[in-house]
Each structure stands twice: as structure tokens, then as C-alpha cells.
Amino acid sequence: MNTPRSAAPAGPAPATGDASAEFHAFFERHHAELARLAHLLTGEADAADDLAADALLALWHRWDRVRGAEHPVAYARGVVANMARGRIRSTVRERRRIALFWSQRSERTDGPDVAAVVDVRQALERLPFRKRACVVLRHAFDLSERDTALALGISVGTVKSQTSRGMAELQRHLGTGAADDLSGRGK
């Protein structure tokens, strides 16, 4: 596992046994979900557990505030989203090479090309971070617009527009049927 990132402030963790037990229960309930969120946001399975662990470490250092929050899970999702964004920014060179590769494929026709179909994860990786986060939280995690807005620290209107635009881009990349399957409309 990576060493803690600067997002976790230095300082002692809460010392009470109740806080420790409460955090342990929170960790057990939400670690897998947070790792899955990190994986879907970054597209990096290897980094997902590290990001989730780093986020939970940051939460532990702030546990006295987090546990009193109205929506501690939304706060945790926001921490994961911010750390995922930081990881993405730290790998800009790699992303630029991928973007360059995909930009060279723009000569293809508008019709479906079965040989060029990409899977959902690859299509999600092509979306800008905010659109990807909105689509993932709304459709993969089945969060409401309000809960998605809370997790990402943005307005409900932004969630609506980014989700709509993200789904439209996925439809362009995957075809209408595949995007409908992702959103649950194709069932």
C-alpha cells in the first residue's frame, strides 16, 4: 500500500474506544464500495484499494468531525472522488497519450463499427472526470441526484447536466443499446 498522501492531515487519531469501534464498523461496511468507486473513477484496479485505504485513513484522522456529519458516507465518497481526481492529474502524461491515440481515430464513420466497439470501462475512461463521476455514481451506484451532488460537492443542476452529457457521450461511443443497458433503460 502507498504511504498516506498529504490529503490526510497529520495529527492524532481519535482516542476513544467508541470512536475506534465506530470507525472500524464504518470501514467494514464501506471499504469495498469506496474501492469500487475509486476503480470506476480512475479506471485503475491496482490503485483502487490504495485510494480507498488512503481515503479511509484521511477519514480516521478527521473521524471526530466525520462521524458527526449528516451524511458521512457522502463525505467519504467525496474524499475518494477528490483523491481519484488527484491521481488522475498526477498521470496527465499517460492520459494525454491516450487522448492522442483516440483523437487519431476520429476519421471513422458515424455508423457502428463492430470491430471498433469498446467496452464500458474503456468508454468511461474517455469521459472527463466530472462526467464520469456523475455517470458512475448515478448509474453504477444508483445514487440520487442529490446524493451524487453531496458526494462530489457540486449542485444538483450540475449533476443533471454532467450525467446527461456523459450518457450522450457514452451513447456516441458505445451505441444507444449499450448506453441504455448501462442506465437501466434497456432492461
Q: Output the pLDDT for position 13.
A: 45
User: Is residue 104 assigned to a domain?
Assistant: no
What total number of domains does the chain contain?
2
Residue 35 pLDDT more than 50?
yes
Q: Output the pLDDT for position 86.
A: 87
How far is it, in rounded angstroms, from Cα 57 to Cα 4? Answer: 8
| Predicted confidence band of residue 44 (pLDDT cuts 50, 70, 90) | confident
Residue 80 and residue 123 in one domain: no
Q: Output the pLDDT for position 103.
A: 63
How many C-beta atoms lie closer than 10 Å to residue 55's C-beta?
29
Mean pLDDT of 24-47: 92
Residue 126 and residue 165 in one domain: yes
Host domain of residue 172: 112-183
User: Is residue 64 assigned to a domain?
Assistant: yes
Residue 71 and residue 120 in one domain: no
- Write out the three cell numbers for 182: 448501462
CATH of the domain at 66: 1.10.1740
CATH of the domain at 151: 1.10.10.10
Question: Percentages helix, strand, coil for the chain, rounded to the nearest 5?
Answer: 75, 0, 25
Q: Output the pLDDT for position 173.
A: 81
| Predicted confidence band of residue 119 (pLDDT cuts 50, 70, 90) | low
Percent of the chain with pLDDT over 70: 70
- Out of 56, 89, 122, a domain closes at 89
Residue, of 102 and 173, whose pLDDT is higher: 173
Residue 140 and residue 82 in one domain: no
| Predicted confidence band of residue 17 (pLDDT cuts 50, 70, 90) | confident
How far is it, in rounded angstroms, from Cα 137 to Cα 150? Answer: 11
Task: Tell me which residue has cell 444508483.
Answer: 142
